[in-house]
Amino acid sequence: MSQQIAYGIEKIRDKQEVSIDILENLLIDVYRLLDSKNERDYNQCLSAICHVANYNSDDSMVQQLLHDCIVKSRIFLYDNLLKKNNEAYFPNISFQDNLLINFYTSQKTNTILTRPQKEIFDSFQINKRLVVSAPTSFGKTRIVREIILHNNYKNIAFIMPTVSLLSEQYQELRSSVEGYTISKSSKVKVDKDKSYLLVLTPERMSAFLEENPSFDIDFFVMDEIYKVDYKLDDDRFRVFSDILYRLAKSGADFYLAGPYISDFSKNFREKFKVELKKYSTEIVQKDYYALDNEKDKGLHSIENGSIKIIGDKFKNLLRLVSEESIDGKFLIYRYQKQYVEDTAKKFLDTWPVKPHNKELVEYLSSSVSPTWDLISCIKRGIAFHHGAMPRHIQDLIVDEFNDSSDNGLKYLFCTTSLTEGINSAAKNVVIYDKKIGTGDLLKTLDRKNIEGRAGRFMQHFIGRVFHLETQEDDDRETSVEIEYLDNEYASLETLIQLESDDVPSSRGELLKAHSEKLAELEIDPLIIKENRFVKVDGQVELISHLRTGGNLDVYYFKEKLPLKGCLDNILSCCYDYLFTDHDKGRNFDTDIGKSILIGLTKYYIYYTPSFKELLSSDTVQRARANDNSRIRYVFDLMSKYFEYSWPKYLKTFSSVYNFVAAEKRQPLISLDMVIAKLEYGTTENHEIILRDSGLPNEIIKKVSHYFKGCETYEDIYSVSRSRSNEIKDSIHPIESKIFAKYI
């Protein structure tokens, strides 16, 4: 039966004239196979349902059989998309069908759940601690709303990896969940009589817990949970896993979700009594095409058209996106920022100017640069997207790509920046490279995350994935591992954050040696521990440096803002003792690079330049040869250094300095103003909350006066609603759109 179904799917994929008999027999086989308990069989049935639905037959018997299969599959919303695509779709809906739909419909939200979603919800109600692995478009986070409404939780936390996902989740919760003070800023005035729903990044959640150590969270959600995996070896995995550890240790219920995970730390699951539920079911099915310019040369049939693959990969891409039979929008993956921009730019010679969002072009010209290649691209329905771009510009690009009108973008070139749960309207995903940004081979999890962007639920039945290079990772295991539980070489920086009974026996000696060393040097271990995940050796060396002779004097200042020479000394000290090689990167890993970084940082702190002013500074002009590379350079400078690295290390420096100063009975310093200016671009509390919410500084400066006196995000939200028309009239239409998205 499975072979017959596969044959039927292949006939439909080829877009050949498929007889009614073939469609009917295929659906009858699907209806029978849906009795199977095997998930592979279930996924094949969904594939057949999606391919028949996409074929869009007007035959009444085919439509009735298709409807019956949809009901039996329990993915009832397929029917809604069929009705949307075909006014002639009118199957008979029986009384029994309505009973089944009602059984899968939430009585509290009227949401129709799929069969897997209902299984997950029912499982959570029994176990209360769940890890869910499932493909994109599965609706993993939709279940959370049901969990909240069916349980009596006082305080809830949503931990989201990016401000974009955070804002999306916040808007959904704001419209569907009542009885909670909902905040997307860590600046919250806690009232014990109120219930709170916090929607924060891991970094902001950590800040909130530091400021409110006695706050009890009853239930928490973490999305894109694979980011706790120590094998990622990036800047953030320790922050993610630390939040997971602290909240799990609190005894709270939790729901952890992520795509394409084959396993989740067995040690973690045993320790915290967690159930893992894995699904490979693709609600939006995928068709895959191998189009390697070396191995797959020749003619390839795609839908009811064909393309000829030759030895030139870029020309193959042009042939692919030009084939009329391949409908829908294209997401094109390249592995580095510069390649993303360069490949998009190469399209400019081929595509004519088309209707486009002129307000967006005007906004980007005035706020970034009129010579930015992104502007020329947008005029032709093309754009690029990568992690160095400010989040609000990334989101504007995705919104334009999701615009189904003639003005919308059709081609979006991106790095892995678009794989973190962002919903796009791409029907087609082209994987141009088989590498990631470091130059290493694309791993299973990264590849599947990119492939998962092909097709969007309730817009497409089928997504298409095109590989322009042969992938070499053949679906290896994608197990998520927690550093302190699964890595016998867990770092000292991670170990010192653990409670003593959680330290693995294999690392006991390392921790003991660390404690003895601190005792010998008369260093309070809490000072080192409080500076979370800043390298321990660097902190110890910094303390020794500050204890020597009169070294404290060159870093001491009385004012809120140190003089330039003093700040130069402080920044230089942070760079020398606390920066890792990864922090320095390729741009700032030499003495000249260090000098440039510190010079630009001081300029930003003392003069608060706009992006355009920073871009036109002599230092940046000399650092890069052309405007587009300068724009990337400044974006990276602001997001990586000003907003992230410097604040972290300056907090550490302040803590360490004051420890040594207290020893020597000398006055303390405060770097709070310097840190706030870097991290937020401001020292005003209401502006910090606006920045925390995702609003860029250029807009904050224009609307700040409306929010003076606001102390919490709820205050900000209230003012934004009561004075919405005034605020809207005072800013550019695109800025108004950004404001509405984040506030």
Coil, helix or strand at residue 352: coil
SS (H, E, C) 544-599: HHHHCCCHHHHHCCCCCCCCHHHHHHHHHHHHHHCCCHHHHCCCCCCHHHHHHHHH
Please, are residues 650 and 666 in contact by the beta-carbon 8 Å criterion?
no
Distance from C-alpha of 112 to C-alpha of 73, rounded to nearest angstrom: 13
Distance from C-alpha of 557 to C-alpha of 360, rounded to nearest angstrom: 45
pLDDT along the chain (743 residues), means of 10: 88 82 94 94 96 94 96 95 93 93 87 91 96 88 89 96 86 89 91 95 94 96 94 87 97 96 96 96 94 96 91 97 94 95 94 96 96 97 93 94 95 87 86 90 88 92 96 78 94 95 91 96 96 96 93 93 96 97 91 97 95 95 94 94 96 98 96 96 95 94 96 94 96 96 91
Q: How many Cβ atoms from other residues are within 10 Å of residue 451's Cβ?
A: 23
Q: For residues 406, 412, 417 and 423, what is the CA-based torsion angle, rounded to 10 degrees? A: 40
Distance from C-alpha of 133 to C-alpha of 515, rounded to nearest angstrom: 39
Cα torsion angle, 621, 622, 626, 629, sign: negative
Give backbone dihedrals phi and psi of 114, rounded to 5 degrees, phi first. Answer: -80, 170
Please, are residues 524 and 504 in contact by the beta-carbon 8 Å criterion?
no
Please, are residues 265 and 480 in contact by the beta-carbon 8 Å criterion?
yes
Distance from C-alpha of 293 to C-alpha of 311, rounded to nearest angstrom: 5
Could you tell me where the DSSP H helices lie in 74-162? 77-85, 95-103, 115-127, 142-149
Q: Give the Å distances, CA to CA, from 392 to 165, 388, 389, 677, 693.
A: 12, 12, 8, 19, 11
**Total residue count of the chain as it appears in this document:** 743
Task: Give CA 589 to chain center in angstroms.
Answer: 28
Burial 486-512 (b: 16+ CB within 10 A, else e): bbeebbebbbbbbeeeebbeebeebbe
Give backbone dihedrals phi and psi of 665, rounded to 5 degrees, phi first. Answer: 55, 40
Q: For residues 105, 106, 110 and 114, what is the CA-based torsion angle, rounded to 10 degrees? A: -50
First to last CA, the chain: 53
Which pLDDT score, from 0 to 100, does residue 172 have? 86
- 74's torsion region: left (phi>0), alpha (psi -120 to 50) or beta? left
Q: Give the Å distances, CA to CA, from 331 to 318, 321, 431, 436, 477.
A: 13, 10, 9, 16, 26
Bridge-based pairing state of the strands 285-290 and 462-467: parallel
Bridge-based pairing state of the strands 329-333 and 426-431: parallel
Q: Give the Å distances, CA to CA, from 260 to 50, 441, 447, 476.
A: 21, 18, 10, 11
Please, are residues 300 and 279 in contact by the beta-carbon 8 Å criterion?
no
Quote the tokens at residue 446: 């990264």
| Strand positions, DSSP E, 177-304 | 181-183, 196-200, 219-222, 253-258, 263-264, 275-278, 285-290, 298-302
